[in-house]
Amino acid sequence: MLQEEIERVQKLHPGARIHYADYFGSATRIHEDPEKFGFGKATINRACCGAGGPYNYERSAVCGRPGAVACENPASYIKWDDHHYTEAAYRVIAGDVAKRYRYDWFGCRAKGLDSE
């Protein structure tokens, strides 16, 4: 369905360059094997910034509000809060997308999921 819509828009605007990348697939691979990418196994389902509980998430004390505390080592976490990834996770995701689609969008080479 999405691919069909991209093709339709491309036909409407033949001079436009449309780039599609599977962000979700990259994020899923991190969740499947977090230690491979330097994330702590104990942190896979916990937010770095939160207010306690099994997932370090409390709706009444979201990150940035009173009661929420950031972890000491965000680079070992996949999720920053209940909605956002950490900088470290975004770096791996972006590197994977750039590597899989062989498109050097930003003029740099980032570490992808297949990197050793």
Helices of type H across 1-116? 2-12, 23-32, 87-100
pLDDT band at 103 (very low <50, low <70, confident <90, very high): low
- Between 10 and 112, the higher pLDDT residue: 10
Confidence at residue 110, expressed as pLDDT on a 0 to 100 scale:
44
- Find residue 47's DSSP bridge partners: 79
Measured distance CA(73)–CA(75) in Å, rounded: 5
42 pLDDT higher than 70: yes
User: How many Cβ atoms are within 10 Å of 20's Cβ, its own excluded?
Assistant: 9
Confidence at residue 49, expressed as pLDDT on a 0 to 100 scale:
95
Measured distance CA(53)–CA(59) in Å, rounded: 11
What pLDDT digit, counting tens, does each position of 52-95 carry?
888 998 888 888 889 899 999 999 999 999 889 999 999 999 98
| Average pLDDT over every residue of 98-102 | 75
Q: What percent of the chain has pLDDT over 90?
A: 45
102 pLDDT higher than 50: yes
